[in-house]
Amino acid sequence: MTAPDSFPLSGYTVVDLSRALAGPHAGMMLGDLGARVIKVESPGRGDDTRSWGPPFIGPDDDPQATYYLSCNRNKESIALDLKSDDGRDTLTAMVERADVLIENFRGGVLDRLGFTVERLHELNPRLVILSITGFGHDGPEASRAGYDQIAQGEAGLMSLTGSGPEDYQRVGVPIADLLAGMNGAYGVLAALLERERTGKGKVVRTSLIAGIVGVHAFQGTRATVAGQDPRPGGNHHPSLVPYGLFRCKDGAVQIAVGSDRLWERFCQAFGLDPQGEGMSTNAERVANRERVIAAIEEAFADYEAPALLERLAEAGIPSGKVRTLQEVYSWEQALSQRLKITVEHPVLGEFDLPGSPLRFFDGDRETTRTEHTAPPLLSEHEQSIREWLGQSS
């Protein structure tokens, strides 16, 4: 086991006031890096996601939502009524000792509770505050509530995703929430680094729509530079051909032919003419997309997927299958990257969770966190947290 003091954020304390997904995901990322993350929840019901199901697992009298389990590993939990004197006093004591505070309340909620930014920095000038909203903290629509699918639509992602121009689809995970959490976590790290120079904490603000717009990538510049208004193109790349999902005898495979050199190699392997009419350059292939796809699928028609993937690999063509999640979590490559972890839960016992996407090394020695704590029960750590604050009776 790697010593806890060797983790990147060992010694840092995070107070996580957030709920649902964006803020909790940011807190979980910081916990994965070794920070102590204290999750502050509402008494009685806790985080909203504790009731988001099915699926639930565990005993009938204490069911656990798998949604909640997805975004709260490596945290402690305390339940506080922030409208009560005890709740406010306890949060005050935590803020005085913390390095980071995370919140995703609607605008004005923390202010009404008596914890304005000014007050938080009076209590702790070194505090880094991460604030996540749906549509941003200012502007004409700042007051709108933030929900992932609405953000995917409003920020343009759904206009790019689907089988065709009128088939708008959401991404299969709450990507707006996840991106907001990821952006928030790296904003926190930048603010902590700046604090080393200035001694002062900053406010980091991000939003669900900012997370989506921030990953528009080449689709964004198609709009801003080329003046286009992209629409869904299914499982094929809008600017590279062939690049996408292609049918074969018993299913489909994915290929990525990202250069004319690879195109020539691909054609040689499957008996196609790389200089055929309308196919010699990528621009020509994009213009003749349907003809190219038809020619490739005709060449693939007699191959079963495993044999086809083997042939593509022999030819040096980037390719792959579409795995189910069950297949991913039993895939040796994913396991080798620590993308599945095992935790021990006081109600559920031992079970597996998706792992952190980051690994760390000191020379050849890996220093990645390998032992993780399960998402906490509601207020599971109240006694130890109050003892840390000097509130033990």
Q: Residue 2 has what pLDDT?
A: 54
Given a contact cutoff of 8 angstroms between Cβ atoms, the answer to whether 11 and 86 are in contact is no
**Above 60 in pLDDT, residue 124?**
yes
For 256-291, how does the pLDDT look when each residue is reduced to its tens digit (9 = 90+)? Answer: 999 999 999 999 999 999 999 999 999 999 999 999
Cα pseudo-dihedral 160, 164, 168, 174, rounded to 10: -60
Does 4-215+338-388 match 243-320 in CATH topology?
no
Is 273 an annotated catalytic residue? Answer: no
For 346-371, how does the pLDDT look when each residue is reduced to its tens digit (9 = 90+)? Answer: 999 999 999 999 999 999 999 999 99
Query: Rounded distance, CA 227 to CA 242, Å?
Result: 24
Given a contact cutoff of 8 angstroms between Cβ atoms, the answer to whether 292 and 270 are in contact is no
State the catalytic residue, choosing from 60, 177, 250, 302.
177
CATH superfamily name and code, 243-320 = formyl-coa transferase, domain 3 (3.30.1540.10)
* pLDDT-based confidence at residue 4 (cuts at 50, 70, 90): low
Question: What ranges do the domains of the chain cover?
Answer: 4-215+338-388, 243-320
Query: Rounded distance, CA 183 to CA 132, Å?
Result: 10
Mean pLDDT (whole number) for 280-307:
96
How is domain 4-215+338-388 classified at the CATH fold level? Rossmann fold (3.40.50)
| pTM, two decimal places | 0.93
